[in-house]
Amino acid sequence: MASFKAVLIEHGYSSSEIERGIITAAGGEFIDASQRPLEEALGLCQEAEGVMLRRVEAPAQLLRRFRRCKILVRYGVGTDNVDVDAATAQGIIVGHTPEYGMDEVSTHAIALWLACVRRLVETHARMVGSAAWDVHRNQPLWRVAGRTLGIVGLGNIGRTVARKMSGWGLRLLATDPFVDTAVAAGLGVELVDLDRLCQESDYVTLHCPLLPETKHLINSRTLGLMKPGSVLVNTARGPVVETQALLEALDTGRLAMAGLDVFEEEPLPKGSPLRSHPRVVHTDHVAWYSEEAQAQLQRTAAEEVARVCTGGLPRSLSNPDVLRKLGRFEEWTPSESVKWQLRRLQRLVGGKH
């Protein structure tokens, strides 16, 4: 008999054989319920110790149905579709996969930035549509060397961006309340507050998680601080940027361009003005993707479930305080990927973790 049960609710990938192999090798029973009706899949979770999901909303009332759940893992970096506080109260570890896709997302952010500053999409469209030549004769482009790039969020992906951009001749600024000055200095980055970053940056790229503190972090006030003609790139989470304020900044020219992979509403509605805005380059939340990143994502999610369901502790989780509730906090050595979360908790409650 299997020692534990793990249920995959949904992830949208073509196969779950990676997860099946890892769970069964650890002595567990793996059930892929991704092709079943959602209510049936949720019913299977009632007796499962491990639950895996990607986009399904997991509010408190749903979590209460997971009577035996030890760990719920979300495929991805963020856990904003899971009621983390409710999970903590119920003693459920909320796992995630913060170390996958760092290379992909950082590269995609740089690609969007380049598409904006070099107006690649616009140039391509003009050449295809009208066989035009010298299409920028009346549209000047500006050298990037010597300008300032501001990085909002200096976690795994933000740090990777900083490393990749270190040879571009740019001045690098970053804002992140949970990063030590010495760490930033080692990357060649100056730590500043958000207002100063907005005021001094020619380009701003967003790499912060979606938290109550970061929803609409980029709004009419912060956009108003940015230099006229600056560029904003968002490969983090859509709600970090207030859409209406973004549109106004684009329409007035406060922003020259925006490169967006994520949106407040996804999929982006067909009628959204962002879809056809001449100052926007957009992609469909694909920054994370490569074949290697997807395999890493699936493997990491399954390994966390197997680890916790066989008596171990997770490497990364969104709710460290659940380990206090379980009486196991002192056993746990946090990964670098979750140390920012511990610092955030310390700051919010004034305690030590």
Q: Are residues 222 and 322 in the same domain?
A: no
Is residue 240 scored above 50 in pLDDT? Answer: yes
Domain count across the chain? 2
Its pTM stands at 0.90
Tell me what pLDDT residue 342 has.
58
Tell me what pLDDT residue 352 has.
33
Q: Tell me if residue 347 is catalytic.
A: no
**Treating both helix axes as pointing N-terminal to C-terminal, what angle do 102-117 and 120-130 enclose, rounded to 10 degrees?**
60
Q: Model confidence over 98-140: pLDDT tens digits?
A: 889 999 999 999 999 999 999 999 888 888 888 778 766 667 8
252: three-class secondary structure by DSSP: helix
Query: From edge to edge, which strands make up the β-sheet containing 190-191?
Result: 190-191, 171-175, 148-152, 203-206, 230-234, 255-260, 280-282
- Per-residue buried b or exposed e for 168-203, using 16+ beta carbons within 10 Å of the residue's own CB: eebebbbbbeebeeeebeebebbbbebeebbbbbbb
What does the alpha-carbon distance between residue 327 and residue 218 come to, in Å, rounded to a whole number?
Answer: 39
Q: Model confidence over 2-30: pLDDT tens digits?
A: 799 999 999 999 999 999 999 999 999 99
Q: Which of 11, 54, 96, 237 is catalytic?
A: 237
Start-end of H helices in 233-330: 243-252, 273-276, 291-309, 321-325
Q: Tell me if residue 57 is catalytic.
A: no
Q: Which of 285, 299, 343, 353 is catalytic?
A: 285
Q: Which of 266, 292, 331, 336 is catalytic?
A: 266
Q: Are residues 345 and 241 in the same domain?
A: no
Q: Are residues 52 and 112 in the same domain?
A: no
Q: Model confidence over 213-234: pLDDT tens digits?
A: 999 999 999 999 999 999 999 9
Q: Tell me if residue 237 is catalytic.
A: yes
How buried is residue 228: exposed, middle or buried, by Cβ count under 10 Å (0-12/13-18/19+)? Answer: exposed
Q: Are residues 239 and 301 in the same domain?
A: no
Q: Are residues 10 and 137 in the same domain?
A: no
Q: Model confidence over 40-67: pLDDT tens digits?
A: 999 999 999 999 999 999 999 999 999 9
Structural domain for 17, as ranges: 4-100+290-349
Which of 258, 282, 306 is the last residue before a domain boundary? 282
Q: What is the DSSP string of 29-88?
A: EEEE-TTS-HHHHHHHGGG-SEEEESSS-B-HHHHTT-TT-SEEEESSS--TTB-HHHHH
**H or E segment to which residue 282 belongs:** strand 280-282
Which of 231, 258, 282 is the last residue before a domain boundary? 282
